């Protein structure tokens, strides 16, 4: 069968041909972009995997180092921040090994009103958070929303947030209603921005436990001495806490106990200060091609010097 193309139809045929060429070019470009995206994704996964294995190696080294340090001074173990960095196969890998027994555990909030001595009731925690977030006008929202995130019910506090709020977000999700896995999880909670998290991270942490371990006074320094102020129920101000830190290290605990009116070894109430470290934090940072990834591990140091991995969390920017 033969078709005859009229002169008047040539323009339409030409336009159709151009549209087909344009469509084919668009499809090719789309497929190329998808292929490049998949290649980039596979490359990023390879970098993450390399970073993960690097962290596992650092974990083993850190556990061995902790056991060695504990053996040298089992009755008075403490750890100052240790920071190391190296370039490996184009990646910058750094890690920070620090004492997690020198911070206030946000997960120690007594949301059920159990009255356990080594947990922190809501009034205690609220007062400490208010002091730390004093410069932020929305701190009532931050604190109530944090408490709502930690407790197990769906009853919203006055300035807090529960299911209805989080499900109304552009990308809806549900509140955890349990412990925080890491300090960065605060970014999921209503109102929290990077500046709020940075303000808290100097003095607060997240441990996989609902108790507040004793603060190792030998691990405190001039960057986190305010922990003493916060846990002293107003009996020691910042000037007093700084004076204790700058004084003779061997007298720190006795000076704090004297200010609190406590006697060493007193057991009927929880003494928030001691000279032992229970938890050690390891954070590895991996940087490559303007991308950053972080992996955090938490060790528990047992009384016999054994080291147990309690938690591992992944993050990235």
Q: Check pLDDT > 80 for residue 93.
A: yes
In this prediction, residues 132-150 reach a mean pLDDT of 96
Q: Check pLDDT > 60 for residue 88.
A: yes
In this prediction, residues 12-18 reach a mean pLDDT of 53
Q: Check pLDDT > 70 for residue 155.
A: yes
Strand locations in the chain (E): 82-88, 91-99, 104-105, 204-205, 215-216, 273-274, 279-288, 291-301, 307-316
Confidence (pLDDT) at 288? 77
Domains of the chain: 52-103+210-214+276-317 (3.30.1300), 106-202 (1.10.40.60), 221-272 (no CATH)
What's the whole-model pTM score? 0.73
Closest CA to 289 of 94, 96, 43, 32: 43
In this prediction, residues 187-205 reach a mean pLDDT of 94
Mean pLDDT of the chain: 81
- What is the CA 217 to chain-centroid distance, rounded? 22
């Amino acid at each position: 069968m033969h078709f005859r193309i009229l002169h008047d139809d040539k323009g339409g045929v030409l336009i159709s041909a151009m549209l087909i060429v344009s469509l084919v070019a668009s499809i090719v470009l789309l497929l190329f972009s998808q292929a490049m995206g998949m290649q980039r994704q596979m490359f990023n996964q390879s970098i993450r995997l390399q970073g993960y294995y690097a962290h596992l190696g650092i974990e083993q080294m850190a556990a061995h180092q902790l056991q060695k340090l504990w053996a040298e001074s089992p009755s008075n173990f403490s750890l100052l921040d240790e920071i190391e960095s190296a370039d490996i196969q184009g990646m910058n890998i750094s890690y920070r090994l620090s004492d997690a027994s020198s911070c206030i555990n946000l997960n120690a909030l007594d949301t059920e009103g159990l009255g356990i001595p080594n947990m922190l009731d809501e009034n205690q925690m609220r007062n400490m958070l208010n002091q730390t977030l004093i410069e932020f006008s929305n701190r009532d929202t931050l604190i109530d929303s944090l408490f709502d995130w930690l407790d197990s019910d769906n009853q919203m506090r006055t300035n807090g947030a529960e299911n209805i709020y989080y499900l109304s977000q552009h990308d809806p999700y549900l509140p955890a209603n349990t412990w925080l896995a890491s300090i960065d999880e605060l970014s999921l909670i209503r109102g929290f921005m990077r500046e709020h998290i940075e303000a808290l991270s100097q003095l607060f942490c997240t441990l996989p436990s609902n108790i507040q371990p004793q603060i190792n006074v030998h691990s405190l320094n001039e960057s986190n001495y305010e922990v003493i102020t916060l846990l002293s129920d107003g009996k020691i101000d910042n000037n007093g806490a700084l004076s204790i830190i700058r004084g003779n290290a061997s007298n720190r605990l006795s000076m704090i106990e004297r200010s609190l009116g406590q006697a060493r070894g007193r057991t009927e109430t929880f003494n928030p200060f001691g000279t032992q470290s229970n938890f050690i934090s390891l954070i590895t940072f991996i940087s490559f091609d303007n991308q950053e990834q972080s992996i955090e591990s938490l060790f528990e140091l047992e009384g016999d010097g054994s080291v147990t991995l309690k938690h591992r969390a992944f993050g990235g920017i």
